[in-house]
Amino acid sequence: MPNAHDYAKAHADDFKAQLIDLLKIPSISTLSTHAKDVERAAAWIIDDMTRIGMTRAEIFQKADFLPLVYGEWLGAGEDAPTVLVYCHFDVQPAEISDGWDTDPFMPTEKDGKIYARGAVDSKSHVVAHLKAIESLLANGGAPCNIKLLFEGEEESGSEHIFEFVAENQALLKADAIVVSDGSMPAVDQPTLVYGLRGIVTMQLTVQGPARDLHSGHYGGNVHNPIQALVEILATLHDENGTVTVDGFYDDVLELTQEERQTLTPIAPFMEQEWWDVTGAKMAWGESEFLLHERTGVRPTMEFNGIAGGFYGDGFKTVLPAKATAKVSCRLVPNQDPQQIYKVIREHIQRVAPQTVTVTLDELEMGARGVLLDRDSAPMKAAYDAYLRGWGVVPIFSREGGSIPVAEAFQRELNTPMVLLPFGYKGGGAHGPNEHVYVEMFNKGVQTAIHFYEVLPTL
């Protein structure tokens, strides 16, 4: 159906104007003062869904949460596959005083880029899909059925979408799920992320004496809880950075030679980003794994925070009553957060000295990692769509972070999934001068059309 592609090209200025229109709405979900703006953005989307010919466009909203927009077009018929697309339309806060060159809610086009909060994260994804669907529906319809789920509280913790997904499995039933969020490592390098890590978070507390003591009087005869804490924490890794907890790696899938080769093309991007971002002296970690493998395919244990005693300016000769550390593990697919928490607790109990009281509390329900099938129909469709839309062979990657909604889809819907971002990592998500290249937005529209067209042929 070449008409949809031509239509999109002919309407590129109009599509850009609509993106700019949506970017003007400060739909900041983390600030309750902007709740009405999130609703305005939802209404804008509903209007557009209706206008372009979707047959259902509905806001799901309970009293205490922000709107979730659902839209569908099932005109391809029962024999055609159904695609469920996820994006989010809420944004992070932004003020010009954060270091922006222009007003973050007055979208400004310059050097082929549109600067605005939400430009790359993630309103360009929302509009690209809507405009791809418009292009298809205006040119004889799409060859697959389409369900859209656009979230309004992704930036504020996605508090309600998990419940919504669990309760609406029939509504969300599909043959393929597309999550359009995130970014590719460079403007001209579409990338298929097929792995995300899970997480389990906990707090380790060492209680020593009942109160803060004078270190002159009790140093040497009362076990210092900071000392006990650091000695416990120091037992958790070996000098190679490998976690030493019994059972920690039991369920980790081996990295095959085939997968290692599949991931090789991402290495230079990851290494460049590492040098650009971290400012660290040199890389660190498990020596038998490459840099991108250490975060992509290996679980880790991180110490995210530690505190005890007096840590302001100057000095206090205190022997404190307690010390705590925040600990998290990034988990790879096939690891169970509860099992990991259990083996760590057993390790802590074994090494904890009798002189102090040591407790390990789980802080949140953990999340499993996500591993997507590289041979599924949506993955193949995404590969093909990127190749046609970008004109570049996409590469594969596994990432170290999490996309919680992807984990919820995996857990609740049992449907082949693909991540299909149109932005790039340099787009300044969450920072000042966030922007999207107009060209990437246009390619995103074309790529989405290709995806909808290719999927039914596989």
User: Which residues are designated catalytic?
Assistant: 90, 154
Distance of alpha carbon 403 from alpha carbon 197, whole angstroms: 8
Per CB under 8 A, does 330 bind its own copies?
Answer: yes
Task: Answer yes or no whether residue 284 interacts with its own copies by CB under 8 A.
Answer: yes
**For its own copies, which residue of 10, 166, 363, 393 counts as binding (CB under 8 A)?**
363
Using omega within 30 degrees of 0 as the cis cutoff, is the peptide bond preceding 156 cis? no
> If binding is defined by CB under 8 A, does position 331 make contact with its own copies?
no
Contacts of residue 132, defined as CB under 8 A and 6 or more positions apart, other chains included, come to 4, 8, 445, 446, 448, 449, 451, 452
Q: Does 280 bind its own copies (CB under 8 A)?
A: yes
- Residue 324 in the binding site for its own copies (CB under 8 A): yes
Of 220-259, which residues contact its own copies (CB under 8 A)?
220-224, 226-227, 229-231, 233-234, 237, 241
What does the block give as tokens for 388?
């046609």
User: Which is closer to its own copies, CB of 107 or CB of 320?
Assistant: 320
Is 362 an interacting residue with respect to its own copies (CB under 8 A)? no
List the interface residues with its own copies, window 131-190 (CB under 8 A).
none
Select from 356, 413, 448, 455 the one that contacts its own copies (CB under 8 A): 356
Give the count of residues interacting with its own copies (CB under 8 A). 78
**Considering beta carbons, is residue 198 or 444 the nearer one to its own copies?**
198
The token pair at 265 is 């093309």
Nearer to its own copies, 201 or 376 (CB): 201
Residue tagged 């925070």 (tokens): 305
Q: What single DSSP character describes residue 94?
A: -
**Under rule CB under 8 A, residue 63 binds its own copies:** no
Q: What is the DSSP secondary-structure string of 138-203?
A: TTT--SSEEEEEEES-TTTT-TTHHHHHHH-TTTT--SEEEE--SEESBTTB-EEEEEE-EEEEEE
- Least distance to its own copies, CB of residue 253, Å: 16
Provide the minimum distance between the beta carbon of 269 and its own copies in the complex, in angstroms, as a whole number: 13
Residues in 418-447 that interact with its own copies by CB under 8 A = none
Amino acid identity of residue 274, one-letter, is: W
- Of 122-130, 166-174, 245-253, 350-358: span binding its own copies (CB under 8 A): 350-358
Is the Cβ of residue 95 or residue 276 nearer to its own copies in the bound state?
276
Burial profile 232-257: b = 16 or more Cβ within 10 angstroms, e = fewer: bbeebbeeeebbebeebeeebeebee
Q: Kindly provide the b/e burial profile for residues 433-447, where b requires at least 16 CB atoms within 10 angstroms of the residue's own CB.
A: bbbbbbebbbbbbbb
Amino acid at 296: G
Query: Which residue in 75, 309, 426, 432 binds its own copies (CB under 8 A)?
Result: 309
Q: Which of residues 197-226 bind its own copies (CB under 8 A)?
A: 197, 199, 201, 208-211, 213-224, 226
- Rule CB under 8 A: is residue 319 a binding residue for its own copies? yes
Report yes or no: 226 and 323 within 8 Å, Cβ to Cβ.
Answer: yes
CB of 187 to its own copies, least distance (A): 19
Give the nearest distance from C-beta 236 to its own copies in angstroms: 8
For the CB of residue 320, give the shortest distance to its own copies in the complex, in Å.
7
Q: Residue 396 corresponds to which amino acid? A: F
400, 404, 426, 431: which one binds its own copies (CB under 8 A): 400
User: What is the nearest approach in angstroms of its own copies to the Cβ of residue 424?
Assistant: 15
Cβ closest to its own copies, residue 13 vs residue 239: 239
* Of residues 381, 415, 379, 419, the one with CA closest to residue 399: 419
Give residue 10's Cα distance to chain centre: 33
Choose which of 166, 307, 393, 458 interacts with its own copies (CB under 8 A).
307
Residue 22 in tokens = 């949506």
